Amino acid sequence: MTGVVLFNMGGPDSLEAIQPFLYNLFSDHDIIRFPRPLQKPLAWIISKLRAKKTKHYYEVMGGKSPQKEQTQTQAKALQEALGEEFKVVVALRYWHPMTEEALKELFKSPVKRLVLLPLNPHYSRTITGSSFNEFDRVFRRLKARGVYFNLTTLKGQEKAYFYPSSIPVFRINCYHNHPTYIRAMVENIREHLPNYQEYFFLFTAHSLPVSVIREGDPYQRQTEETVKLIMGHFPGIRYALGYQSKVGPTRWLEPLTDKLLQELIDSGIKKIAVVPVSFTCEHSETLYELDHLYGGMARSKGAEFVRIPTLKTHPTYIQALKDLVLQTISSCENIKGIS
pLDDT digits (tens, 9 = 90+) for 244-303: 999 888 899 999 999 999 999 999 999 999 999 999 999 999 999 999 999 999 999 999
Task: Give the integer Cα–Cα distance in Å for 227 and 177.
Answer: 9
3-state DSSP assignment of residue 227: helix
Query: Residue 163: its pLDDT value, please?
Result: 47
Query: By the 8 A CB rule, do 226 and 182 touch?
Result: yes
The answer to which of 52-56, 141-145, 216-220, 234-238 has the lowest mean pLDDT is 141-145
- Domain assignment of residue 296, given as a range: 179-307
Query: By the 8 A CB rule, do 13 and 92 touch?
Result: no
* Secondary structure (DSSP) of 137-150: HHHHHH--SS-B-E
Query: Residue 153: its pLDDT value, please?
Result: 65
Whether the CA torsion 31, 34, 35, 39 is positive or negative: it is negative
Residues in the chain: 339
13: in domain: no
Percent of the chain having pLDDT more than 90?
Answer: 83
Query: By the 8 A CB rule, do 140 and 159 touch?
Result: no
pLDDT digits (tens, 9 = 90+) for 135-182: 999 988 887 544 444 566 665 454 444 444 578 899 999 999 999 999
Decide: pTM greater than 0.85. yes
Query: Residue 146: its pLDDT value, please?
Result: 42
273: in domain: yes
Residue 80 has pLDDT above 60, yes or no: yes
Helices (H), 195-314: 210-214, 219-231, 257-266, 284, 295-300
The CATH number of whichever domain residue 241 belongs to comes to: 3.40.50.1400
Q: What is the mean pLDDT of residues 90-103?
A: 97
Label each residue of 177-204 as H, E or C: CCHHHHHHHHHHHHHHCCCHHHCEEEEE
Q: What is the mean pLDDT of residues 55-72?
A: 96
Query: Residue 150: its pLDDT value, please?
Result: 59
236: in domain: yes
Query: By the 8 A CB rule, do 3 and 114 touch?
Result: yes
292: in domain: yes
104: in domain: no
290: in domain: yes
Q: What is the mean pLDDT of residues 42-60?
A: 94
| Residue 108 backbone phi and psi in degrees, to 5 | -70, -15
Query: Residue 155: its pLDDT value, please?
Result: 58
Q: Report residue 338's pLDDT band, with 50, 70 and 90 as the boundaries.
A: very low
Indicate the number of domains in the chain. Answer: 1
Reported as type and span, the H/E element at residue 86 is strand 86-92
Query: Residue 189: its pLDDT value, please?
Result: 98
226: in domain: yes
Query: Residue 335: its pLDDT value, please?
Result: 52
What integer best gives the mean pLDDT of the chain?
92
Query: By the 8 A CB rule, do 277 and 203 touch?
Result: yes
pLDDT digits (tens, 9 = 90+) for 102-141: 999 999 999 999 999 999 999 999 999 999 999 999 988 8
216 backbone φψ class: left, alpha, beta (φ>0; ψ -120 to 50): left
Whether the CA torsion 252, 254, 256, 257 is positive or negative: it is negative
Edge-first strand listing for the sheet containing 86-92: 86-92, 2-8, 113-118, 169-171, 150-152
* C-alpha 267, offset from chain centre: 32
Q: What is the mean pLDDT of residues 218-229?
A: 98
**Cα separations in angstroms, 303 against 176, 284, 298:** 31, 23, 5
26: in domain: no
Query: Residue 33: its pLDDT value, please?
Result: 86
Q: What is the mean pLDDT of residues 55-68?
A: 95
Query: Residue 330: its pLDDT value, please?
Result: 87
